[in-house]
């Protein structure tokens, strides 16, 4: 494991409570643990080049960026949910014909892709994103680690985003 990654991992463990407070202010208590898992995953991918001089500042900035990315993702999901609600239930939000057609096509692609996901990825995705369970709860229910849950979710969501956007390649 690269030296930067080892040092950041140790610092993350030392600063965990402080980082959780920082992240909690941005995303709320319910999402803070999920963001902390994402931070851990990012730290594991840090390489030695370039060397990180101020690891504490780097870790704080990383935590902030991951939390902001999480918020943006939640906003995209909320927008998609509003669009889906408008399509399904005819709510007050009026969509144009093109937007309706695009949304239906994207929804169909994503629905088919979810059905084609392998197990346990499909179950993990359903439990976290549809049933709203926390990653820790899903890990206990499925019998895997939270890191494994995070890995399955990361791959599934990246794949579904490509499918939704019409950029997926077979295989």
Q: What is the pLDDT of residue 100?
A: 80
Domain ranges of the chain: 1-77, 95-171
Give the C-alpha distances (Å, rounded to integers) separating 46 from 1, 33, 60, 128: 9, 20, 14, 27
Give Cα 99 to chain centroid, integer Å: 25
pLDDT, mean of residues 19-26: 91
Length of the chain (residues): 171
CATH architecture assignment, domain 95-171: Orthogonal Bundle (1.10)
**pTM exceeds 0.95 for this model:** no
Specify the CATH number of the domain 1-77: 1.10.1740.10
In a 13 Å sphere around the CA of 153, the CA atoms on its Cβ side amount to 24
Predicted confidence (pLDDT) per residue in 50-104, tens digit: 889 899 999 999 999 999 998 888 888 887 777 777 767 665 556 678 878 887 8
Q: What percent of the chain has pLDDT over 90?
A: 37
């Amino acid at each position: 494991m690269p030296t930067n990654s080892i040092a950041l991992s140790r610092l993350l463990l030392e600063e965990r409570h402080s980082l959780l407070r920082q992240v909690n202010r941005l995303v709320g208590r319910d999402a803070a643990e999920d963001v902390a898992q994402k931070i851990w995953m990012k730290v594991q991918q840090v390489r030695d080049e370039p060397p990180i001089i101020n690891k504490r500042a780097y870790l704080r900035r990383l935590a902030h960026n991951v939390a902001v990315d999480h918020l943006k993702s939640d906003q995209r999901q909320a927008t998609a949910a509003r669009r889906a609600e408008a399509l399904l239930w005819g709510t007050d939000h009026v969509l144009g014909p093109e937007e309706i057609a695009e949304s239906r096509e994207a929804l169909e692609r994503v629905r088919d892709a979810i059905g084609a996901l392998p197990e346990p990825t499909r179950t993990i995705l359903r439990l976290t994103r549809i049933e709203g369970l926390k990653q820790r709860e899903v890990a206990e229910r499925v019998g895997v680690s939270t890191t494994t849950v995070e890995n399955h979710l990361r791959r599934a969501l990246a794949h579904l985003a490509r499918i939704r956007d019409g950029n997926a390649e077979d295989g």
